[in-house]
Every structure is written in structure tokens, then in C-alpha cells.
Amino acid sequence: MKKFTNSGQFKKIEITVGVIYNKWEVMGHSHQNSSGNYYWICKCECGVIKPVAAHRIVNGESKSCGCNRRSKLINRKHGLRYHPLYNIWNGMKYRCNNPNSHNYRLYGGRGIRVCDRWLESVENFYNDMINGYQKGLHLDRIDVNGDYSPENCRWLTCEQNNNNKRFNWVVSFDGRTHTPTEWGRELGINANTIQSRKRKGWTDYESLFGLK
């Protein structure tokens, strides 16, 4: 932990590298200006890196690079803050860009990115994806290993989206291959039961009809 005296205030301010203050993450010491104020290199949650005065970090005078203020201005401008697509857009960015997301390992952690056009603004996302959107639909990537982009995204129902997940089991019988959900609907079996049997190593036939 580094300690120093902030010029003009004569009190010690403690700064720790790696600690997060509001939206700033302290990365290291930068410089001391002619007035004796210490500056630290900080990284904003949005990715911006810049030097910030120590006392402004600690007392909360500086909470971010200004992205909060810009976001509020943008929200007032585009009027989409309370539209369902805004939350979908925000969630897409969060799971791809924030390691703290519990789903990050399935998205950003394995290289899935959001295209520059959609990162730039929610308006671009709205304009590209509003056609075909209905309440309750889920945003789906056609290529599950591809990025979020206009050419690789579509709207699906919850069931269609579950069927399309890369980790979904498939079961083959009588020359046909379907997901547990599809078989379950056809045979009147709980899809979770079929998937659980498959996970235990049962054959496809046993997964659908049980042990002989």
C-alpha cells in the first residue's frame, strides 16, 4: 500500500494498486504535478485509461471517466432507455466484455465479441434488430462460435433458443435426430429426463424409452 501527503491538504491518502473506487481501477502511480498533487493511472469500467488526482479518487469527486454522464445524455437523446432492446443490448455487452459476468466464460471468455457498430451505440443495435422483434423473443447467434453482429444474429423463441444451444444433447432413433425437447414433446416425456439419462451414459434408445 502506497502512502503520500497530498499537497495543500497535509493529510495522508492511501491508494492501493488494484483497488476499485467507484468505476476506477487503480493501475499504478503516474506523476506528481507542480502543485504537489499525486496522480494515478486508472482504468474506467468502460475501458478508458487516464491519470486521475489521488484526492479526487478517494473522496469520490471522480467516479468515472465521464461515461456515466455521457450515457445519461445518450439515453435522453435516443429515448431507448426503457425499451426491451436496451436491456438485451446491455446484457449482450456485459457477458462479452465483463469478466465479472457469471456467463463470461461462455461468451467473452471464449472469444465471442460484440461488433464495433453495436458497441458504438444502442441506436445502431435497435435499427439493425428491431425488424422481427416481438416481446419474449431471445437474441440468438446463427453461428454459435461467431460474434454478435447484424449478419450473425436473429430472434428466436425461448424453446428455439434452448434447442440451438451449443451444449444441447441430441438423440437419434429410427433414422431421426432431435433434441431432448423435441423428442419429449413428441413422446410425452420430460426433456430433462431424457437429457439426464444421456448424461449418465445411457444409449439413445434407453434415454427415450428407459432401461429394458
R_g of the chain, CA atoms, integer Å? 25
Instruction: Kindly state the average pLDDT of the residues 144-173.
Output: 76
Phi (first) and psi of residue 40, to 5 degrees: -125, 145
pLDDT at 3: 43
Phi (first) and psi of residue 16, to 5 degrees: -120, 125
Phi (first) and psi of residue 196, to 5 degrees: -65, -40
Mean of per-residue pLDDT scores for the chain: 81
Q: What is the residue extent of each domain of the chain?
A: 2-65, 81-158, 171-209
Which has the closest alpha carbon to 23: 3, 55, 49? Answer: 49
23: Cβ–Cβ under 8 A, 6 or more apart, which residues?
Answer: 44, 45, 46, 63, 64, 65, 67, 68
At 26, the pLDDT band (50, 70, 90 cuts) reads: very high
Reading the block at residue 123, the C-alpha cell is 441506436
**Inter-residue contact 15 to 26 (CB < 8 Å):** yes
pLDDT at 166: 47
Buried b / exposed e across 105-144, counting CB within 10 Å, b at 16+? ebbbeeebebbeebbeebebbbeebeeeeeeebebbbeee
Q: For residue range 43-102, what is the model confidence (pLDDT) as tens digits?
A: 988 888 889 999 889 888 888 887 766 555 555 555 677 788 999 999 999 999 999 888
The pTM assigned to this predicted structure is 0.44
Instruction: Kindly state the average pLDDT of the residues 125-140.
Output: 89
Work out the percent of the chain whose per-residue pLDDT is above 90.
22
